[in-house]
Chain A
């Protein structure tokens, strides 16, 4: 049989009141109610067991009472989740962006590319936006789930889909890039689905790496013809050094003929008398063997 103490503890625990102080106060208030009830019942000559039974019966369904409290304190809860969402999004985005940028900076230094031209590029901005969108959507999903009592994951996904659609429509209407929003939402849904479906950390990591690996193979590998054709041009003898661009931006490279959103190789640009380093493969004419991919782009985007 459930005791009065258990009943009160159940109510407070399930009430989802965000403030610890308020929960403690509610606990205290309900305990005084129980004390009053027990005192009067004892004065009426009832036994302890009967008192407990009557108390639980008179008090009502603890889940229902807890839901009523949850409704009363919903605004505080929403504000708390919103604050946690914003702060954690900011922190996680900063940390992940810093980690990615550090890796790129390390690679840039290793390949002798000027650091500023890598970190200060448009590509870095897009990467940061991708990370921000992914983290925001993921943290948003987690926060939304906490707002729903029933079917939290499904409802959170529905709200995320609706919010993303509204944001994409608004961004598109103002002529801003929308790809990073879609990229972030899809990433978040993928990561959360993996987290919900798989309980073991190793399995989660494996699926995430495999998932992104497959995406990388699908979207980001340059066509096999790109490098040999560039090598052939170099062998034919053009100026100083040439660069093969793997561009994502038709506006940035007007010669580009490929579909936007997909990486593609570009013909060698004749005016490339200096190293080109963004968005692409670099090929040093004097040392073709040492030519290395400057960077791989993280997502299928078109620059605005």
Chain B
């Protein structure tokens, strides 16, 4: 099912912080992980991932480092900072609260 862009927009930050809290990843790897873990629900346009990553990097939530991966290719790896870790937890709490509230309204009779 295709998710509306506006709905997706608010969740990208949480999604990225959550994925990176599991370990460092490079851009393409993040996309694949998001698609696999969401059963291909999150298949957003690939180009939009990078501005979001750069925004998080500027906020100090993630840091980037160029290094050579296992296959010998150089890539830019992103990982969470301590500030980003706290932000990820905070976003997750807010998300749980929000979805709970939205579900409560949707399921109310």
Contact = CB atoms under 8 A, between A and B. Distances in A.
Contacts of B58: 72-73
B86 interface: no
Identify the interface centre among A11, A36, A59, A62: most chain B CB within 10 Å of its CB: A36
A110 interface: no
Contacts of B75: 32, 36
Interface in A109-146: none
Nearest to A68: B51
A206 interface: no
B27 A33 contact: yes
A16 to B, nearest CB: 13
A36 B28 contact: yes
Given A58-B45, A59-B46, A60-B46, A29 B51 contact: no
Contact of A59 (B47, B52, B74): B47
A61 B5 CA distance: 14
Given A35-B73, A72-B54, A72-B58, A29 B47 contact: no
B55 A11 contact: no
B26 interface: yes
B54 A69 contact: yes
Interface string B24-41: 001110000000000000
Contact of A37 (B28, B51, B55, B76): B28
A33 B26 CA distance: 9
Interface string A58-82: 1111101100110111000000000
Contact of A30 (B45, B50, B52): B50
A191 B50 CA distance: 41
Contacts of A60: 45-48
A236 to B, nearest CB: 79
Contacts of B28: 32-33, 36-37
B50 A32 contact: no
A189 interface: no
A26 interface: yes
Given A35-B73, A36-B28, A59 B45 contact: yes
Given A33-B28, A59-B46, A65 B51 contact: yes
Contacts of B54: 26, 69, 72-73
Given A33-B28, A72-B55, A72-B58, A65 B73 contact: no
Nearest to B56: A72
Interface of A: 11, 25-26, 28-30, 32-33, 35-37, 58-62, 64-65, 68-69, 71-73
